[in-house]
Amino acid sequence: MNQHPRWLLPKHDYWSTPFAESLLHHLDLRPGLRILDVASGHGIPAFFLAEQVGPDGDVLAIDVSAGQVARARAIQGSHLPWLRFECMDMRSLPPNLPTFDRVTGNLSVMFFRPNRYDTVHGLVERLNPGAQLVLTFPSYGTFDSLWQQVDRAMIQQALNKERELFQAYLNERPSAQEGRTWLEKLDLERIGAFEYPLEVKTGPGPEFLHHPLLRGGFLDDVYECFEDQSLADRS
């Protein structure tokens, strides 16, 4: 697979890149494909996908955040003209949207709320015959050891209100099996649901709180359980 150095997955993105690598592992890519990339953020892996399909292909990358779309367009500049970033809600796609050979969504499924199955159904309806849908998301199992570490700390420090919010957050997170169930209900062929635990080696205290992967994604969710952010820093 030919890769342009400009559009490789960035090694410094400790949050998006590991999930994008999993997505690409399962995605069948070749020149000329038409791809819809949902929850595209600032372009991981949309830029890489566009590089792979080439000028005979087409990539539409959508995100509900106008700020993320603007950031991605700024990174793109005049490059990869067959890649378009548009502000669009993947939960209610316009009826005139064309169909695609691939539908991808990196770190996407947690944004499908409140009706995740309906959103997946809508994406499946945008697939051409023989097309492929690949979605990645942090399931409960992804950070299982870290969830437990945070929960133990909350118990030890009697953070009862924060722990209640944290448990509600965990219970709402979809599992790999739940994702498989959605796809089976939609009568798709060759279904796969895979879980890749991310082992993060870090010590306690500041080292844990400021680890680039944790502070960029996992811990941001935990911080939302604290009304007093300074209390989270002390915990």
With helix as H, strand as E and coil as C, how does the chain read? CCCCHHHCCCCCCCCHHHHHHHHHHHCCCCCCCEEEEECCCCCCCHHHHHHHHCCCCEEEEEECCHHHHHHHHHHHCCCCCCEEEEECCHHHCCCCCCCEEEEEECCCHHHCCCCHHHHHHHHHCCEEEEEEEEECCCCHHHHHHHHHHHHHHHHHCCCHHHHHHHHHHHHHCCCHHHHHHHHHHCCCCCCCCCCCCCCCCCCCCHHHHCCHHHHHHHHHHHHCCCCCHHHHHHC
Q: Which residues pair with 59 in a beta bridge?
A: 35, 83
The model's pTM: 0.81
> How far out from the chain centre does Cα 151 lie?
24
Q: Which of 11-20, 61-70, 141-150, 212-221 is most confident?
A: 61-70
Q: What mean pLDDT value characterizes the chain?
A: 86
Which residue ranges make up each domain of the chain?
Answer: 5-137, 140-171+200-234
Tens of pLDDT along 36-74?
999 999 999 999 999 999 999 999 999 999 999 999 999
Whole-number CA gyration radius for the chain: 19
Pairwise CA distance, residues 88 & 73, whole Å:
14
State what percent of residues in the chain have pLDDT above 70: 84
When mean pLDDT is compared across 36-45, 89-98, 110-119, 192-201, the lowest value belongs to: 192-201
Say yes or no to pLDDT of 117 above 80.
Answer: yes
The residue ranking higher by pLDDT, 63 or 161, is 63
State both tokens at 55.
Answer: 């000028």
Pairwise CA distance, residues 133 & 103, whole Å:
5
- N-terminal to C-terminal alpha carbon distance within the chain: 46
Q: How confident is the model at residue 235 (pLDDT cuts 50, 70, 90)?
A: low
φ, ψ (nearest 5 deg) of residue 177: -65, -35
φ, ψ (nearest 5 deg) of residue 29: -115, 145
Determine whether domain 5-137 maps to CATH 3.40.50.150. Answer: yes
Kindly give, in sequence order, each residue whose CB lies less than 8 Å from that of residue 197, ignoring residues fewer than 6 positions away: 141, 142, 143, 144, 145
Pairwise CA distance, residues 42 & 61, whole Å:
10
Query: What pLDDT is recorded for position 137?
Result: 86
Q: With the CA atoms of 125, 25, 18 and 191 taken in that order, what torsion angle do they form, in degrees rounded to the nearest 10?
A: 40
